[in-house]
Amino acid sequence: MKICVFSDSHGESDAMLRAIASESPDLCFYLGDGWADLAPVQRAFPDLTFHAVRGNCDLFSPLPLSLRCQVDGVTIFAVHGHRFDVKHDPSLESLRAAGAKAGADVILFGHTHQPCLEDRALPILLNPGSVCRPQPGYGVLVLHQRRIYPRIKYL
CA atoms of 138 and 131, how far apart (whole Å): 6
> Which fold does the domain 2-154 belong to in CATH?
Purple Acid Phosphatase; chain A, domain 2 (3.60.21)
As a whole number of Å, the CA-based R_g of the chain is: 14
What amino acid is encoded at 145 in this protein? Q
Q: SS3 for 17?
A: helix
pLDDT (0 to 100) of residue 135: 87
Q: How many helices (H) and strands (E) does the chain have?
A: 3, 10
**Alpha-carbon span 4 to 95, nearest angstrom:** 21
Cα end-to-end distance, the chain, whole Å: 21
Distance CA 62, CA 70 (A): 22
Each residue's pLDDT, cut to its tens digit, for the chain (155 residues) gives 999 999 999 999 999 999 999 999 999 999 999 999 999 999 999 999 999 999 999 999 999 999 999 999 999 999 999 999 999 999 999 999 999 999 999 999 999 999 999 999 999 999 999 999 778 999 999 999 989 999 999 99
